[in-house]
Structure 1
Amino acid sequence: MEALIGGRNHSWRNAALAAALLSGVALTACQSGPTGELTSVETAQGSSENISSLSAVISRNPQDPEGYNVRGSAYGRGGKYREALKDFDKAIELKPNFYQAYANRALIQRFLGDQGKALADYNQAIQLNANYDAAYIGRGNLYRKAGRTQDAFNDFQKAIQLDTTDARAYHNRGLIYQSQGQHAFAIEDFSTAISLSPDAAEPYNGRGLSYLATNDEDNAFADFNMAIKLDGNIAESWANQALIYERRGDKARAAKSYARAAQLDPNYKPATEGLARTRGS
């Protein structure tokens, strides 16, 4: 789900959502958003060369909070969470009303497992700037993962009311609609997410599942195929494609797609169970 402020967004994927039960098979969608969290980093932005360049800028301007915020973002993308945390701490020390740094630090706190501190930082970012859409989206994801669905929905709704152009708000609200069986609303939100982030695979998976839940198999299949075309390393996409093949009676192709999903994620049950059903057919 999320991106650190100061760089491009990137794709994510997380645990599966039970979207529908069709023909006795559970459908699953990625539980985050097309712009993701730090599971897929842009190596150039988190590279040692980039860090060195940013450190040189900071050494020339050690009292500039922006420099620490940018370097902290680069550290975060490179998986160096402790270093990122120190830089965001310094940015906030130099600029106590630096709401972007609070939101960035909140995301790092989440990855370090301190959800309480993450929530406090998101709250502080919103207190400093009540119109900061990224903080609502980040806090919404925090709420969603804690099972606070209504609070999450309210935050995504608020970001959308602020005219956000961040696809995560629509994608994640779509996931909530989908989990509640409101597939028409879900399809609309996933479609908006796609228009805002056309290169992200996850909203295609989400929309495909809602199409399938409404028995629109052709559009579902098209969306799953597009998800694979955009990112062939997401197990859910292959398992969803396999499910269509299985429903159509093409067990050989289904087994091949399930096998690819299981290869990408050996612990992904829809893939391993689907492979067991179709292997050798």
Structure 2
Amino acid sequence: MIHFALIFFMVILNIFAVDVPNVKELYRLSIETKEVEKKKEFRQKILTLAPESEYGIFSKAWFKEIAGDYSQAEELYSEAILLNSKLTMAFLNRGRIKLRNSDNQGAVSDFLSAKELEPKNAEVYGFLCYSMRYENDRSTGMNYCNQAVELDPKSIFSYYSRSTFKLESGDSRGALKDANKIIEISPKDPLGWEARGSIYITLNNKKAGCADLSRSGELGNTAVYDNMKEFCK
């Protein structure tokens, strides 16, 4: 009986030994920073301090995701959500994985859950916009696109999502305008050049399109070279 009580005491002691406020602060910092190396640093600290907490499991999921193990990452994000259904980024990241796997309906469901938790988060609206680009209901998707830009007019992802949505809607001029805005905001980011290049190619302006895709590749987006093999012969 004494032995059992000692074990129970040690378990309770370990639970309370976790510095919850510090772990939550590390999680917040890991969300706010845009630097991947900083995210790694904060999330590794979380794993050291509280590996089985919702923040620890979220961190495990994120490391799996960046390593390309999307199936395991999705499962771990789901575990984190079961522990804490208010983790916006867990819904957002799981939704991105579903989107990657062409599960658009599942992705939209996760993004809507994220929107309920953070109705002023531009990134959430950007993903809703992007994930609804093939839906028949164009007005709802377009509203999400516009909200993303309104909430963060400096976000290149917001403009990229809206540009893609407009292109799928047949609004090439509007798509081109948004792609130009990305380049204006961040000329050294390959995303804008890829977006504009794709639009030009859709408009049969291969010379301008291939020049933009080439520029995107020079800026580090080497995946565009596969598209160039098809369109820029």
Decide: shared fold, TM above 0.5.
Answer: yes
Unaligned 5+ segments in structure 1 are: 1-61, 277-281
Residues 97-116 of structure 1: pairs in structure 2 closer than 5 A: 98-116=53-71
Q: For residues 233 and 271 of structure 1, do their structure 2 counterparts lie closer, same or farther at Cα, with a shift above 3 Å needed?
A: farther
Unaligned 5+ segments in structure 2 are: 1-16
Q: For residues 85 and 210 of structure 1, do their structure 2 counterparts lie closer, same or farther at Cα, with a shift above 3 Å needed?
A: closer
**2:87 aligned residue:** 132
Q: For residues 215 and 68 of structure 1, do their structure 2 counterparts lie closer, same or farther at Cα, with a shift above 3 Å needed?
A: closer
Match for 1:188 among 143, 147, 166? Answer: 143
**1:149 aligned residue:** 104
One-letter identity of the residue aligned with 1:139 = R
**2:45 aligned residue:** 87
Q: Is residue 226 of structure 2 the alignment partner of residue 267 of structure 1?
A: no
> What SS does the aligned partner of 1:257 have?
helix
One-letter identity of the residue aligned with 1:152 = A
**Root mean square deviation, CA, Å:** 3.4
Q: Is residue 33 of structure 2 the alignment partner of residue 77 of structure 1?
A: no
Please list the CA deviations of residues 114-166 of structure 1 after superposition, one character each: whole Å capped at 9, or x if unmatched.
44543343223322332332221122122222333322221111222334332
Instruction: Name whichever structure is richer in helix by fraction.
Output: 2
One-letter identity of the residue aligned with 2:160 = N
Instruction: Give, in angstroms, the shift of residue 66 of structure 1.
Output: 4.6
Instruction: Give, in angstroms, the shift of residue 106 of structure 1.
Output: 1.9
Counterpart Cα distance in 2 of 1:217 and 1:102: 42
Counterpart Cα distance in 2 of 1:114 and 1:174: 26
Contact 1:262 1:272 in 2 (8 A): no
- After TM superposition, the score normalised by the length of structure 2 is 0.70
The size of the alignment, in residue pairs, is 210
Counterpart Cα distance in 1 of 2:102 and 2:203: 35
Q: For residues 267 and 102 of structure 1, do their structure 2 counterparts lie closer, same or farther at Cα, with a shift above 3 Å needed?
A: closer
Instruction: Give, in angstroms, the shift of residue 178 of structure 1.
Output: 0.6
Contact 1:258 1:275 in 2 (8 A): no
- After TM superposition, the score normalised by the length of structure 1 is 0.60
Question: Relative contact order: is structure 1 or structure 2 higher (C-alpha 8 Å, sep ≥ 6)?
Answer: 1
Q: For residues 90 and 153 of structure 1, do their structure 2 counterparts lie closer, same or farther at Cα, with a shift above 3 Å needed?
A: same
Instruction: Name whichever structure is richer in strand by fraction.
Output: 1
**1:214 aligned residue:** 169
**1:171 aligned residue:** 126
**2:6 aligned residue:** none
Please list the CA deviations of residues 84-122 of structure 1 after superposition, one character each: whole Å capped at 9, or x if unmatched.
6652223325xx5x4344323321222234445433432
Counterpart Cα distance in 2 of 1:224 and 1:168: 17
Instruction: Give, in angstroms, the shift of residue 230 of structure 1.
Output: 1.9
Counterpart Cα distance in 1 of 2:99 and 2:48: 29
Q: For residues 201 and 85 of structure 1, do their structure 2 counterparts lie closer, same or farther at Cα, with a shift above 3 Å needed?
A: closer
Contact 1:102 1:124 in 2 (8 A): yes
Instruction: Give, in angstroms, the shift of residue 169 of structure 1.
Output: 2.1
